[in-house]
Amino acid sequence: MAGTLTHPYNDIGNLWLRGSFHGHCSENSRCASLPLRDSVQWYQEAGADFLGLTDHDAITALDEMRRMYPDIILLEGFEYSSCENLLFVGEKAEPLYELPLGEALECRGDDLLSMVCHPTPRVEGPEYWSLEKMTELGCWPDGIEIYNGHYGTETGRANGRQPLGTGLWDEALTAGHRLWGYANDDSHDPEDLGNAWNMVAVEERTEAAVIRAARAGRCYGTTGLLLQGIDVDGAHLDIRLSAPARGRFIGSGGAVLKEAVDDSFEYTMAMEGYVRFEAEGDSGRIFLQPLFSQ
Ligand SMILES: [Zn+2]
Ligand SMILES: [Zn+2]
């Protein structure tokens, strides 16, 4: 029986903007070596459309950079860092890091995007974010950082880090929490620049439109592999990528439902609670948002 799917890729236009929501500057994060201006200049030259500056419990003022680099959308924010880290980013941010995290989440406005950061930062070691800790907050963020570029570099991996956060994502989705996945480079050092980003389908090229689309899941995460098209007809999905890759449809419990090497992929959903698609190839990885069977 063909059902209909609930998903964020309905009626998206052709205006896709590229950018990372998570990054630091040496002026306001001791762990970062990149000065603000070098960073903004690098992203503008690399063709990024937007960039989030999210220092640890600090809001970096962007007025001067916005004047100097009018071609890139600069987003203000912070990384809540006095417990397991959580990102807040928007056109304008208030110092919500002064509040307990649950309260900060609860009183954030519609104009702030929020996400759990690098939920599994180490290959081995103590637990960081868990579904239990997220539940205890009493208020859910918009999503989870499912790829953190800073932890995927050679230096990051040599230090026992790992970039993927899809384990917690599947756990949350399986439990019925509709959280979106985001990919960021979490730039601290030159090695991080452009390692991961989001493609966001917007109605217009403004700060507010980027945040609105990202909060609604009208985006996907990538480290280089791009989406050429997605068609949803009833319960049937057709996905086309920019290059051949090993792609898989993933469902409840993180189970691999179908896997193939190709540049186009199809799947018909039955009664799975959710299905999401991810792939990796020579040009990188891609992570689409989940589609729900009701
Ligand atoms: Zn840091
Ligand atoms: Zn960070």
Centre of ligand 2 from the C-alpha of residue 253, in Å: 28
Contact indicator for 207, 66 with CB cutoff of 8 Å: no
Contact indicator for 82, 57 with CB cutoff of 8 Å: yes
Which ligand is nearest the CA of 80, by number?
Answer: 2
Q: What is the pLDDT of residues 180-229, one digit of tens each?
A: 999 999 999 999 999 999 999 999 999 999 999 999 999 999 999 999 99
Q: If you average pLDDT over every residue of the chain, what do you get? A: 96
Q: What is the pTM of this model?
A: 0.97
Summarize the confidence of residues 226-250 as an average pLDDT: 96
When pLDDT is cut at 50, 70 and 90, the band that residue 13 belongs to is: confident
Centre of ligand 1 from the C-alpha of residue 31, in Å: 5
Residues with CB under 5 A from ligand 1 (ion): 31
Tokens of 21: 């929501």
Report the alpha-carbon angle 100-103-106, nearest 5: 155
Query: In this structure, are strands 86-90 and 112-116 parallel, antiparallel, or unpaired?
Result: antiparallel
Centre of ligand 1 from the C-alpha of residue 192, in Å: 12
Tokens of 49: 């459309």
Calculate the dihedral angle through the C-alpha atoms of 10, 195, 143, 76, rounding to the nearest 10 degrees.
-100
CA pair distance 17, 126, nearest whole angstrom: 36
In degrees rounded to 5, what are phi and psi of residue 272?
A: -60, 140
Summarize the confidence of residues 230-239 as an average pLDDT: 94
| Concatenated DSSP letters of 19-83 | EES-B--TTT-TT----HHHHHHHHHHTT-SEEEEEEET-----HHHHHH-TTSEEEEEEEE-SS
Residues counted in the chain? 294
Contact indicator for 201, 16 with CB cutoff of 8 Å: yes
Which ligand is nearest the CA of 77, by number?
Answer: 2
When pLDDT is cut at 50, 70 and 90, the band that residue 294 belongs to is: confident
Centre of ligand 1 from the C-alpha of residue 81, in Å: 9
Ordered by where they begin, the domains of the chain are 16-223 (3.20.20.140)
Question: What pLDDT shows up at residue 1?
Answer: 43
CA pair distance 197, 205, nearest whole angstrom: 17
When pLDDT is cut at 50, 70 and 90, the band that residue 125 belongs to is: confident
Q: Look at residue 240 and tell me whether its pLDDT is greater than 90.
A: yes
Summarize the confidence of residues 15-37 as an average pLDDT: 98
Q: What is the pLDDT of residues 243-285, one digit of tens each?
A: 999 999 999 999 999 999 999 999 999 888 999 999 999 999 9
Contact indicator for 86, 103 with CB cutoff of 8 Å: no
Centre of ligand 2 from the C-alpha of residue 62, in Å: 17
DSSP 3-state of 174: helix
Which ligand is nearest the CA of 148, by number?
Answer: 2
Query: In this structure, are strands 219-222 and 143-148 parallel, antiparallel, or unpaired?
Result: unpaired
Centre of ligand 2 from the C-alpha of residue 197, in Å: 14
Which ligand is nearest the CA of 28, by number?
Answer: 1
CA pair distance 164, 121, nearest whole angstrom: 8
Radius of gyration over every alpha carbon of the chain, rounded to an integer in angstroms = 18
